[in-house]
Amino acid sequence: MTMVLLFVLLITLILAAVYFVLKQKNMHNWIGAYLWQCLKPKPKVKGPKHILFCFVDHFEPQWKNKNDIELERARVDRWYNDYPKMAEKHRDADGHYPKHVFFYPEEEYRHEHLAKLSDLCARGFGEIEIHLHHEDDTAENLSNTLTGFAKVLHEQHGALPLNPTTRQIQYAFIHGNWSLDNSLPDGKHCGVNNELKVLKETGCYIDMTLPCAPSPAQTSKINSIYYATGQDGKCKSHNNGIDVEVNKTATGDLMILQGPIGLNFEWRTPSGMPHIENSDVRKTAPPLKSRIDQWVNSNIHVKGRPEWVFIKVHTHGAQEGDMNTLLGEPRDFLHSYLETQYNDGEEYILHYVSAREMYNIAKAAEADMSGNPNKYRDFILAKPSFKLNS
């Protein structure tokens, strides 16, 4: 009997220690779902897999320095001058350059910066969407902020599409500090319960905040494209939702499109532990072969259309320490590897897409469109008419 009790105590201590380690990095939020996904067999695919690759950027020119306009200009100019030099060397199966999506923060708006980014977009190098940091906010103020900023981006810079029926300005969204729908403890960096409702009403068509591990804002639902429904008086309603599925009616307030999350056993920490794959690309998290392969193998897709694989990765591109990674050889390697390993025309076909195009293609899959997703880049929302910098 004593041996049995000792064994039970030992197992309990081991489980407690594992839980403590997982909780330190908030892995308890998602690790169970990840292990379950690893055990599930992947759906079979006939013909080539179409790889839809989108690079989104929490682009913050005022990062850690809100009173130095020359520093802001230097950061924006680095992208304006160097991104085309890197991107022009690469094409997808449809002849498109890699598309960098600048999610620009409302609170950092300057006309001159957006004029340069719009110029890049007009030349085919990406698109502009909305990013926002806020604190202790209200639903009314948030609505006014988002509506006003969408109007400025559309009217002053040609960014953001119009809803073809209502003519409302539409936008993709990434929440600052990961706190979508007031999802951080104590309501930090947001303050608006049922933020999803405000986003929907102001023209948001998709959220691309996730994944955000190791932040406690990370959801239990992972590696998914799904609809979340806000709940009045409650927060983090997007913790779960209903998968976007072929031939199923849209259900919910907002489409959530997540990037890959998981464990990478080939990419080790200095202590020898596997890295958490959270789709972040920067100097300390370079685009390694094993990471790119894992992004593909995460198999994020609209349910019922597994041959269209969605990959969304993110960065904070205005931080100097990461620019050589994002504009230099590591980024160049990322696209070269995608183009050589995942664009042979038989097993894989590569498509560089924007956030808007990803949404359109997801909606096309939902509507039971098939074949080459290149046909559906503008399925619902047309390409904005970006303005050249003159």
pLDDT per position as a tens digit, 317-340: 999 999 999 999 999 999 999 999
pLDDT higher than 50, residue 16: no
CA–CA distances in Å: residue 155 to residues 148, 152, 186, 327, 384:
11, 5, 37, 29, 11
Mean pLDDT of the region 123-138? 98
Q: Quote the pLDDT of residue 6.
A: 54
pLDDT higher than 80, residue 5: no
Mean pLDDT of the region 128-145? 98
Q: In the structure encoding, which two tokens stand for residue 287, read together?
A: 């685009």
The more confidently predicted of residues 186 and 6 is 186
pLDDT higher than 80, residue 89: yes
pLDDT higher than 70, residue 349: yes
Query: DSSP label at 375?
Result: G
Mean pLDDT of the region 2-30? 57
**CB-CB neighbours of 65 under 10 Å:** 11
Looking at the DSSP bridge assignments, the partners of residue 358 are none
Mean pLDDT of the region 273-279? 96
* Structural element, H or E, at residue 126: strand 126-132
Cis omega before residue 270 (within 30°)?
no
CB 142 within 8 A of CB 195: yes
With the C-alpha atoms ordered 141, 144, 147, 152, is the resulting torsion angle positive or negative? negative
> Given the DSSP bridges, would you call strands 225-228 and 242-243 parallel, antiparallel or unpaired?
antiparallel
- Cα–Cα distance, 22 to 42 (Å, whole number): 26
Q: Quote the pLDDT of residue 136.
A: 97
Q: In the structure encoding, which two tokens stand for residue 159, read together?
A: 């960014």
- Cα–Cα distance, 162 to 381 (Å, whole number): 7
Mean pLDDT of the region 181-204? 97
> pLDDT tens across 98-129, in order?
999 999 999 999 999 999 999 999 999 999 99
Q: Quote the pLDDT of residue 360.
A: 98
Alpha-helix runs per DSSP H in the chain: 2-24, 31-39, 69-87, 111-122, 139-157, 195-201, 289-297, 320-327, 329-341, 355-366
- Cα–Cα distance, 207 to 190 (Å, whole number): 15
Query: Crossing angle of helices 329-341/289-297, nearest 10°?
Result: 50
Q: Count of alpha carbons within 13 Å of 134, Cβ hemisphere only?
A: 24
pLDDT higher than 90, residue 4: no
pLDDT higher than 60, residue 285: yes
Helix (H, G, I), strand (E, B) or coil at 25: coil
Q: Quote the pLDDT of residue 7.
A: 56
pLDDT higher than 80, residue 20: no
Q: Quote the pLDDT of residue 18.
A: 40
Quickly tell me which residue has 């620009």 as its tokens: 104
Categorize the per-residue pLDDT at 390 as very low, low, confident or very high, splitting at 50, 70 and 90: low
- For all residues of the chain together, what is the average pLDDT? 94
Residues 6 or more apart whose Cβ sits within 8 Å of residue 384: 121, 127, 128, 154, 158, 159, 160, 161, 356
Quickly tell me which residue has 């039970």 as its tokens: 8
DSSP-assigned letters across all residues of 164-223:
TTT--B-EEEEEGGG-GGG-SGGGTT---TTHHHHHHHTTEEEE-----TTSTT--SS-S
Q: Quote the pLDDT of residue 19.
A: 43
Residues 283-315: b if buried by 16+ CB within 10 A, e if exposed: eebbbbeebbebbbebbbbbbbbbbbbbbbbbb
